[in-house]
Amino acid sequence: MLPLGELYELIQSLDKSEKRHFKLQIGGKANKTAYGTLYRLLEAAPAWGSGLKSELSANFTQAQLEIARKHLSKVLTRALGNYHMGTDPEAVLWEKYTQAKLLFKKGLGAASRRHIVQGKEMAQRYNHAHFLGMFCELELAYGATEKFAGWREEEVIAVNESAKSSARDHEAAREHAFLYNLLLCRYWKNGAVQSQRERMQLNDIMLEEHQIMVRQKETFASGKLHLHFQSVFFMMTGDLDGSLKVFYDLDDFFQRHRTEWGREPVDYVRFLQDVLETLRRFGRFEEMRHFEARLEEIVARFQPLRQKITLLLAENRLHVALAQGVDPRQLPMSVLPETGLDKIPQQDLLQGWFTLARAHLARKEAGEALRMVNRLLSVSPAALGKMNASKCRMMRLMVHQALQNRDYLHYEIRSVERKMKLEDSWYPAEKLVVDYLKHWLAFRPFNRSRDEILKTLQDPYAQAMVSELGLKNWLKIT
């Protein structure tokens, strides 16, 4: 059951049609019940706070409130499940399967088998191998109970082969999804590959994915996952040309299959986010406009996704403005939404804070930039990830330079250098920043040649760090 705070947030997230459906489900008598009263109070409250809690205390004892909360949670979630069931293929298939199983248990064999046949057709139409296998197994169980009366031996073999084929397809899809999630985890935690050893490990995953694709049935889900896989691979290797080709292929693929993801555009939003991050990393700002327009076109039914899209667009525009050297006074600083931050994925929120810290530094508001960077570095290492930790440490060094904190910087550089060597994250871009600051501390001119600096700044493996920290502008290299 949902706690009161989460129940309040759920009720506030309901749209008009969901509210109407819920009220029809509970009927007019609910107005006189405790859970009906609780629903009205939570719906009418403008914010979750002491005022609402006082009103709840005035209407309920603690025991009454607990009972009403539990019942309202159950009734509301059940009503929402029924409302959205028709738009969720898995929910439709599960309903058909449970109906077939219930009829089978009640001894209505013919009715059960009709439901099974309908369920198999639906599972094939939705390309859902797992449910197809479940319906086949139920069909065989029904046949065994009836001693296969009216069955031919070939039919038993065909249903069993269909079940086996479905199990193979489901296992291949599961392995494919696992490899993709493993690749995503590695990318979000560590960023782009920065050594030949990491490149070889990435190639091993790509080989496994190719072997799975050879034996996997071609569906919308497998095609989408394959193109997603390739796009992440090229992002991690810094291959811009390969990335661009896959990005346009994947965008075209999504547009051709719009009916299959239109109501649940989470995957498409994540794809567009990856595209924009890659293009801005290499300074391809003109090509970003096409994908930004795609992101703006998406109609998100639920508030968390709407807030994510709003944050992505605002953070991206601020990053581009910083990269293009826009007058700091004209920077679009309204990045984070005023409410609902807890509904935004943590990695997106961390990126928003980081870009805002960069903007404050550009506006010579080093104190505020330092506050935001310290807030980022207070996040647990597991949640922050190696890539984010590295860029935040470099940003903190850059902020302390702006604050002229020479004594602090002297010891902080030694600490950062030691930590990053221990974590195996001591790469050329990080070395360049630290080397520059060491010369600055010693009141010596930076003695690296322009060609040597450009070699690091143009290294495809280092583009993520160069772009996120704005090193070209910071080092005044054009």
Q: Could you please report the per-residue DSSP string of 26-92?
A: H-GGGGGSHHHHHHHHHHH-SSSSHHHHHHHHHH--HHHHHHHHHHHHHHHHHHHHHHHHTT-HHHH
Q: Considering the domain boundaries, does residue 65 fall inside one?
A: yes
Residue 357 has pLDDT above 70, yes or no: yes
What is Dmax (Cα atoms) for the chain?
94
Determine what percent of the chain is predicted with pLDDT higher than 90.
25
Express each pLDDT in 181-240 by its tens digit. Answer: 888 888 877 777 777 777 788 888 888 888 888 777 777 878 888 888 888 888 787 777
Q: Considering the domain boundaries, does residue 67 fall inside one?
A: yes
Residue 137 has pLDDT above 70, yes or no: yes
Mean pLDDT of 53-69: 86
3-state secondary structure at position 211: helix
Q: Considering the domain boundaries, does residue 110 fall inside one?
A: no
Compare 340 and 257 and report the one with higher pLDDT: 257
Report how many helices (DSSP H) and strands (DSSP E) the chain contains, helices first: 25, 0
Q: Which residue has the tokens 């700091």?
A: 328
Q: Considering the domain boundaries, does residue 356 fall inside one?
A: no
pLDDT of residue 398: 95
pLDDT of residue 440: 93
Structure tokens at 10: 């759920």
CA 291 to chain centre: 17
pLDDT of residue 212: 84
E strand or H helix at 297: helix 285-297
The candidate with the shortest Cα–Cα distance to 393, out of 349, 365, 427, is: 427
> In this structure, what is the dihedral angle of CA atoms 55, 61, 64, 65, given to the nearest 10 degrees?
40
Q: Considering the domain boundaries, does residue 103 fall inside one?
A: no
Residue type, 408: Y
Express each pLDDT in 13-49 by its tens digit. Answer: 888 888 888 888 777 666 678 888 888 888 888 877 7
Q: Considering the domain boundaries, does residue 100 fall inside one?
A: no
Q: Can you state the angle between helices 428-441 and 450-457, rounded to 10 degrees?
A: 140
Q: Which residue has the tokens 């601020």?
A: 318
pLDDT of residue 26: 77
Q: Considering the domain boundaries, does residue 284 fall inside one?
A: no
- Count of structural domains within the chain: 1
Q: Which residue has the tokens 């949670």?
A: 73
Express each pLDDT in 377-397 by its tens digit. Answer: 999 888 888 888 899 999 999
According to DSSP, residue 462 is labeled G
Q: Can you state the angle between helices 266-281 and 240-256, rounded to 10 degrees?
A: 160
The CA distance from 427 to 192, in Å, is 11
Q: Considering the domain boundaries, does residue 75 fall inside one?
A: yes
Residue 477 has pLDDT above 80, yes or no: no
Residue 281 has pLDDT above 70, yes or no: yes
Express each pLDDT in 404-423 by its tens digit. Answer: 999 999 999 999 889 888 87
Mean pLDDT of 336-357: 85
Region of residue 195 (phi > 0: left; psi between -120 and 50: alpha; otherwise: beta): beta
Mean pLDDT of 61-70: 88
Q: Which residue range is the domain that position 12 belongs to?
A: 4-85
The CA distance from 90 to 94, in Å, is 6
3-state secondary structure at position 108: coil
Query: ∠ CA 338-357-423 to the nearest 5 degrees?
Result: 120
* Residues in Cβ contact with 413 at an 8 Å cutoff, skipping those fewer than 6 apart: 397, 434, 437, 438, 441
Question: Which range, of 37-51, 316-330, 342-356, averages the lowest pLDDT?
Answer: 37-51
**Mean pLDDT, all residues of the chain:** 86
CA 404 to chain centre: 39
Mean pLDDT of 69-75: 88
The predicted model scores a pTM of 0.72
Q: How far is CA 369 from CA 186, 350, 376, in A?
A: 28, 14, 11
| Residues 394, 377 contacting (CB under 8 angstroms) | no
Highest mean pLDDT (candidates 231-240, 269-278, 311-320): 311-320
Residue 167 has pLDDT above 70, yes or no: yes
pLDDT of residue 460: 73
3-state secondary structure at position 193: coil
According to DSSP, residue 458 is labeled T
pLDDT of residue 258: 84
Residue 478 has pLDDT above 70, yes or no: no
pLDDT of residue 365: 94
Kindly provide the b/e burial profile for residues 430-451, where b requires at least 16 CB atoms within 10 angstroms of the residue's own CB: bebbbbbbeeeeeeeeeeeeee
